[in-house]
Amino acid sequence: MVLISLQILYVLVNIIKKNVIFGFINDKNLKIMLTLKQIDYALAVAKNLHFKKAADECFISPSTMSNAITELELQLGVKIFERSNKKVIVTNLGQEILSKAKKIKLEVQNIHELVQHNSGNLNHSISIGIIPTISPYFLPIILPKLQKEFSNLKLKVEEGQSQVLTNKVKEGDLDMAILALPYDVQDLHSFKFWEEDFFWVSHRKNKNAGKSEVSASELEHSELMLLEDGHCLKDHILDACNISSSSQYSLKASSLNTLIQLVKGEMGTTLVPKMALKELVGNKKDLSVSHLNEPGPHREIALITRSNYAGMESVKLLLNFFKKSLKEFNKD
């Protein structure tokens, strides 16, 4: 068996049209060449434990994925995966290999990012994640101005839940992510750039409608509707109102827009962050808006990155741009 603790005697990093090549020498003094693409494929299979799902994630055919993994195993001289018609299992040695491969991938990305971001300008590619309770309201404010000011920036945006995005940032699948705090971002750097309060939205026929301020105690019997479990906004609302998660609510939904439509139909009331007010409520005359009079800010928005992320100059530029754009938006 070829020993792949693989004392790396040398690592060649050639970034040529995104083709990164690693060179290893094994215990038989044989040179083994691996590509970053091979590592990506193997990590995708390990993540999904399913060749077709991994192939879909990598935008290749299942046969191409299968052949690539077979070739990788032949190159290394070991089995990384045990395969059958029903399931895929990562071997013990495969787990060790993939753990090291993931670290190598991150280091290569850091080298690439260091070169890209060294220019001190946003003229390269950045991948960024954003949670769904921020993206519909934040992106229309930011993207047009960002494209105008940094025309050479290639921005890849991915929407997802906080846990998914933080994992992708840690694993190097995303450069950074925009989350709402408080949230556990252990082992990551977080940079707060916006804070806001919540506003209570009710139908104008509600007995408390028309008030400029409402307290959490006044919402106790207001048929408050929240997002379903898994959305951090729900947790932030519960914290701001000091409400137990075991409290009973008449309805739950997967989007703020759905909640607003239910409020219009006099099915209950809800709470939304300030950034979303203009888009969700606007000039709807049948709705009433009141500030939640509880200690704030009720939530903070932050940009998170890996602690060793090489593109800190880009992070600083984005943070300044976000702060400036949101400040202008807040004046309107």
Average the pLDDT over each of 64-78, 110-124, 266-280 and give the range with the smallest value. 110-124
Q: Tell me: pLDDT of 193 over 90.
A: yes
Give the Cβ contact number of residue 24 at 10 Å. Answer: 20
Are 220 and 267 found together in one domain? yes
Pairing of strands 31-35, 81-83: unpaired
- The contacts of residue 106 (CB under 8 Å, 6+ apart) are 171, 172, 306, 308
Predicted TM-score (pTM) of the model is 0.65
CATH number at residue 47: 1.10.10.10
pLDDT at 116: 56
173 plus 152 within the same structural domain: yes
Shared domain check, 247 and 101? no
Q: What is the pLDDT of residues 258-276, one digit of tens each?
A: 999 999 998 889 999 998 9
Q: Is pLDDT above 50 for 29?
A: no
Task: Indicate the pLDDT class of residue 34, thresholds 50, 70 and 90.
Answer: confident
Domain boundary pick from 89, 117, 145: 117
Are 260 and 326 part of one and the same domain? no
Confidence of residue 248 (pLDDT cuts 50, 70, 90): low
Classify residue 15: in a domain, yes or no: no
Checking if the pLDDT of 326 tops 70, the result is yes
Q: How many domains does the chain have?
A: 3
**Domain-embedded: residue 4:** no
Tell me, yes or no, whether 191 and 303 share the same domain.
yes
Do 55 and 71 have their domain in common? yes
pLDDT band at 224 (very low <50, low <70, confident <90, very high): confident
127/104: higher pLDDT: 127
Q: State the average pLDDT over residues 203-228.
A: 86
The residue among 93, 117, 141 that closes a domain is 117
Q: Are residues 47 and 177 in the same domain?
A: no
- Among 117, 142, 164, the domain boundary falls at 117
CB 26 within 8 A of CB 32: yes
Return the structure tokens found at 268: 């209950």
Same domain, 227 and 91: no
- For residues 228 and 206, what is the distance between their CA atoms, to the nearest angstrom? 23
Is pLDDT at 12 greater than 60 in this prediction?
no
pLDDT tens digit string along 128-158? 999 988 999 999 999 998 888 888 888 899 9
Mean of the per-residue pLDDT values for the chain? 81
Q: What does the pLDDT look like over 154-174, one tens digit per residue?
A: 889 999 999 999 999 988 889
Residue 1 within a domain: no
Task: Determine, yes or no, domain membership for 7.
Answer: no
Mean pLDDT highest for which of 226-230, 239-243, 272-276? 272-276
Q: Is 16 within a domain?
A: no
Domain harbouring 307, CATH code = 3.40.190.10
Q: Is residue 325 part of a domain?
A: yes
Q: What was the pLDDT predicted at 188?
A: 92
Same domain, 180 and 316: yes
Asked if residue 10 lies in contact with residue 25, where contact means CB atoms within 8 angstroms, the answer is: yes
**Displacement of CA 113 from its chain's centroid (Å):** 19
> Which pLDDT score, from 0 to 100, does residue 296 have?
79
Q: Are residues 316 and 173 in the same domain?
A: yes
Which conformational region is residue 45 in: left (phi greater than 0), alpha (psi within -120 to 50 degrees), or beta?
alpha
* 182 within domain boundaries: yes
Question: Comparing 99-113, 155-169, 302-316, which segment has the lowest mean pLDDT?
Answer: 99-113
Does residue 206 sit within a domain?
Answer: yes
pLDDT at 33: 67
* Whether residue 136 sits in one domain with residue 64: no
Question: Taking a C-beta distance cutoff of 8 angstroms, is the pair 293, 214 a contact?
Answer: yes
Say what percent of the chain tops pLDDT 90. Answer: 26
Query: pLDDT band at 10, cuts 50/70/90?
Result: very low
Q: Please give the residue range of the domain that contains residue 159.
A: 125-195+299-331
Residues 202 and 72 in one domain: no
